[in-house]
């Protein structure tokens, strides 16, 4: 690890009034969550049309039957927060991180204790009624589906759906607004484990840089935003973030 580069980033974080992290799939893979995109990713092996908005409307029972199978694969390794999730939560607790904006839907940032969290694509931990919008924890509803209640229905008669952005749907305006505001108001924008290739994650670093933030990118693979980065690390996020957290904390006194 480049210690000087890490020192420079730690100094920037310490001096910042606002540091915001954007996290992508690379933060979850270390917890055993299979990646969604790319070769042998979830969407390489599962037909995305099975989880399309149109399928939910046309064949809600089939949608849910497939969704239960997908979920079984996603949680097969009993995923828990890893050191990267932990480091971000610790930085927030000590006042060195304003918020985490995530592309992930696995709920692991919340498990790790991150409080100020924007889940751009929603969360698999909840379902919501497609008619009245009522939200509830997902697991009991998955249980009902496994017991044969397909599709699962809300008290109002509407069909439940995962509280995530489905194929064929647009992002939640409120989440997007919050993420853009956080990016605009940040002094340090930390993009972690994201290929920065999918909107809106692709746009947020640019918004931050345009508002004069320092941009740090931590990712194994090159990203389209690397040319804008003030701090660039081709490191494992579970090594880099704990090292950064320790350094920011140590230099505090």
Note whether 132 binds Zn ion by CB under 5 A.
yes
Of 9-17, 52-60, 127-135, 210-218, the window that binds Zn ion (rule: CB under 5 A) is 127-135
Region for 37 from its dihedrals, namely left if φ exceeds 0, alpha if ψ lies in -120 to 50, beta otherwise: beta
Report how far residue 65's alpha carbon sits from residue 47's, in angstroms, rounded to the nearest whole number: 14
Residue from 154, 208, 229, 243 touching Zn ion (CB under 5 A): that is 154
Of 20-28, 114-122, 154-162, 186-194, the window that binds Zn ion (rule: CB under 5 A) is 154-162
Q: Are 141 and 163 in contact (CB under 8 A)?
A: no
Note whether 88 binds Zn ion by CB under 5 A.
no
Closest distance of CB 69 from Zn ion, Å: 25
Tokens in use for 101?
């904006």
Q: Which residues contact 221 (CB under 8 A, 6 or more apart)?
A: 195
Closest distance of CB 67 from Zn ion, Å: 18
Please say which residue, 63 or 189, places its beta carbon nearer to Zn ion: 63
3-state SS of 88-135 is HHHHHHCCCCCEEEECCCCCHHHHHCCCCEEECCEEEEEEEECCCCCE
Backbone phi and psi for residue 129, each to the nearest 5 degrees, phi listed first = -75, 130
Q: Are 100 and 117 in contact (CB under 8 A)?
A: yes
Instruction: Based on the residue annotation, tell me whether 121 is a catalytic residue of this protein.
Output: yes
Note whether 105 binds Zn ion by CB under 5 A.
no
Residue from 1, 58, 61, 156 touching Zn ion (CB under 5 A): that is 156
Closest distance of CB 166 from Zn ion, Å: 17
- The residues annotated with a catalytic role in the active site are 121
- Per CB under 5 A, residues contacting Zn ion are 129, 131-132, 134, 154, 156, 158
């Amino acid at each position: 690890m480049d210690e000087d580069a890490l020192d420079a980033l730690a100094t920037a974080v310490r001096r910042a009034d606002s540091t915001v992290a954007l996290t992508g799939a690379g933060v979850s893979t270390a917890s055993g969550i299979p990646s969604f995109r790319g070769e042998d990713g979830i969407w390489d092996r599962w037909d995305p049309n099975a989880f399309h908005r149109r399928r939910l409307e046309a064949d809600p029972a089939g949608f849910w039957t497939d969704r239960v199978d997908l979920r079984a694969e996603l949680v097969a390794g009993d995923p828990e927060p890893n050191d990267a999730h932990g480091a971000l939560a610790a930085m927030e607790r000590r006042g060195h991180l304003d918020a985490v904006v995530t592309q992930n839907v696995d709920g692991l940032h919340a498990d790790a204790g991150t409080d100020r969290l924007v889940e751009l694509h929603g969360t698999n931990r909840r379902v919501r009624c497609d008619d009245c919008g009522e939200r509830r924890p997902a697991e009991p509803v998955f249980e009902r589906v496994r017991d044969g209640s397909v599709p699962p229905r809300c008290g109002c008669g509407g069909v439940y759906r995962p509280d995530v952005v489905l194929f064929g749907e647009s992002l939640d305006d409120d989440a997007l607004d919050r993420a853009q505001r956080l990016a605009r108001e940040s002094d340090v924008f930390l993009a972690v484990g994201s290929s920065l290739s999918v909107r809106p994650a692709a746009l947020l670093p640019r918004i931050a840089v345009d508002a004069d933030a320092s941009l740090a990118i931590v990712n194994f693979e090159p990203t389209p935003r690397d040319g804008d980065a003030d701090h660039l690390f081709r490191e494992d996020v579970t090594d880099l973030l704990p090292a950064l957290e320790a350094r920011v904390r140590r230099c505090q006194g």
